[in-house]
Structure 1
Amino acid sequence: MKTILVDPSLCIQCTNCQISCKDEHTDNDWTPIAAPQAKGQFWIRIDERETGSGSRMRLERTPVLCQHCENAPCIAVCPNNAIYTRPDGIVIIDPVACKGCGTCRAACPYDAVFENPQLGISQKCTMCAHLLDEGWDAPRCVRGCPTDALQYVDVESLNQRDLPAPLERLMPDEETNPHVAYIRTHKPFVAGGVISPKEGKALDDACVTATHQVTGSIYRTQTDTYGDFAVNAVEPGFYTIEVMIDGYYPRVFTDYDLREAKNMGEVRLYPKA
């Protein structure tokens, strides 16, 4: 069995995945897998948001498609039994059986099911099941991705020993057990610059330590030549942040809210007498 592995850190929002999907499904009837895709629909989208602020702002991109859930809410609520899971884990909305009532659209926590007003049905990503059935090695969106932000992989190979980062699922609290997998999803970061205002210079090699006040998880980094630092991919929560360097009085920030990325701005250290 295979699935799509998404690495948001590699997404450059080239939209090749969306173009490939539109090329495959617009004006093409792949019944019983999918009817022609409605105009204006994107069965894979790129969620984009700005995090941090000022010169330490980042643009985060996350590809999102139907998660082909094992415990699919759309299947549970469909009154017409029009949605089913194939043996390969792909969830399909039968375009003939679907009556377009919209209960599946309301139930999907990923906003991945769409209305086709022309045909009066609901539609979503099929993982290009019609092509896979013909022997294709991957869905069109995966084939179109130039950075490997999307990969088509064996589910059995998805163990953490083989991955560059821990395996994740979107919105785990929903308990849908998605078939689609993610690695390196965007996490909060804290960035800033360390300076000595008395000496009028940036301080390189200063140690910045962020300690989660509940779990005790510790993240460390050092400032660069320009005194800048970034502590990346931290577990969301409240932190104690310590900034120190030999010969200077340290600064300690408690109850620092890192549920979202933050720009600390300038952290001023003063030399010891």
Structure 2
Amino acid sequence: MKKWHLIIDVEKCVDCNNCFMSCKDEHVDNDWPGYTWPQPRHGHRWINIMRAERGQYPLVDVAYRPTPCMHCADAPCIHASKGSITKRADGIVMIDPVKAKGQQEVVNACPYQAIWWNQEQEVPQKCTLCAHLLDQGWKQPRCVQACPTGALRAVCADDTEMSRICTAEKLEVLQPEANTQPSVFYKNLYRFNKCFIGGSIAANRKGIVDCIEGAKVTLLQGKDKLAETITDTFGDFKFDQLAKNSGKYVIQVQKPGFSAAEVTLELTSSTNIGTIYLS
């Protein structure tokens, strides 16, 4: 049985909010009988774009993570809903607004904070993946259609095909420890939830500070060599996809004609170690 999935590439999202606005355009003041009641004009973000800033000036990385309903196979909201929330055969999780009226508790049941409370109508609401459009033959929901960078993709595939795609594209899910089996997968999620160590290599030659291009920079943890890179034209280097609070690291720098340098640091979050000067 084929099911609907979303693939979101964090690296391609530029925070343009086209997805957010298209969702508003589709659902604000529009009642879709059998699917959902109108979305409030303000307060709801059925696709919520989260922002993460890593590093320190001047080495800063900003990433954006669109976050809709995960349409989980084992959805906590379903367990808390007393029958008002169901999962369709095509994988889309739906809230029946009539049955769910007054059930504010299902908002707190979602570990992804993807369910919103409509105070006026007293009903929980969320992304429907534009099921009313897909049922009419649309190939993608409005948010995917509106994305100009290709950060959002809708895929209708069976479990075997989706598993192949996940492996080939190295996809991840949010909060895997929640064991909800989401139908929304992320690419390049490290931009949001991992750390980097970066810096610059320079040297003072005859009173002039020069960037050192082509220096070999090695990252070690204990006795293990984790990665190696070469500085760019500006003398910059960067090691990414490191876990937060992952302990002590050693940076070693080598460049023919200069003495070697070494820096030790404790990594808690993304860190710009500044400039390492060779002599």
CA contact (8 A) 1:32 1:96 kept: no
Distance in 1, Cα, partners of 2:41 & 2:61 = 32
Q: Which residue of 1 aligns with 2:50?
A: 47
Equivalent position amino acid for 2:180 in 1:
T
| The one of 171, 190, 211 aligned to 1:167 | 171
Once the two structures are aligned, what percentage of the paired residues are identical? 37
TM-score (norm 1): 0.90
List per-residue Cα deviations over 1:72-127 (Å, max 9, x = no partner).
1111112x310111111111111110023321111111110001011110000010
Residue 162 of structure 1 deviates from its aligned partner by 7.8
Tell me by how many angstroms 1:234 deviates. Answer: 3.5
**Counterpart for residue 237 of structure 2:** 229
Aligned partner of residue 168 in structure 1, secondary structure: coil
Structure 1 residue 189 corresponds to structure 2 residue 192 = no
Residue number in structure 2 paired with 1:144: 146
In 2 relative to 1, CA 84–16 (structure 1 residues): closer, same or farther, beyond 3 Å?
same
- Alignment match of 2:254 (pick from 239, 244, 268): 244
How many Å separate the matches in 2 of 1:6 and 1:158?
Answer: 14
Q: CA deviation at 1:244?
A: 1.8
**Matched AA of 1:262:** T
**Where do 5+ consecutive residues of structure 1 fail to align?**
none
2:277 aligned residue: 268
Q: Is the 8 A contact 2:166 2:172 kept in 1?
A: no
Q: Give the letter aligned to residue 134 of structure 2.
A: L
- Counterpart of 2:119 in structure 1 is 117
Whether the 8 Å CA contact 1:70–1:179 is kept in 2: the answer is yes
Residues 162, 103 of structure 1: alpha-carbon distance in 2 compared, 3 angstrom cutoff: closer
- CA distance 1:142–1:263, change in 2 (3 Å): same
Q: Considering only aligned residues, what root-mean-square deviation do their CA atoms show, in Å? A: 2.0
- The answer to whether the 8 A contact 2:4-2:92 is kept is no
User: How far apart are the structure 2 equivalents of 1:159 and 1:243?
Assistant: 41
The aligned length equals 267
Match of 1:166, as an amino acid?
Answer: K
Partner in structure 2 of residue 71 of structure 1: 74
Tell me which amino acid in the other structure corresponds to 1:261: S
Q: TM-score, normalised by structure 2?
A: 0.89
Shift of 1:144: 0.5
Task: Give the superposition deviation at 1:160.
Answer: 5.5
Contact between 1:46 and 1:63, CA under 8 Å: does it hold in 2? yes
Q: Which has the higher strand share?
A: 2
2 CA distance for matches of 1:88 and 1:217? 46
| 3-state SS of paired residue (1:232) | strand
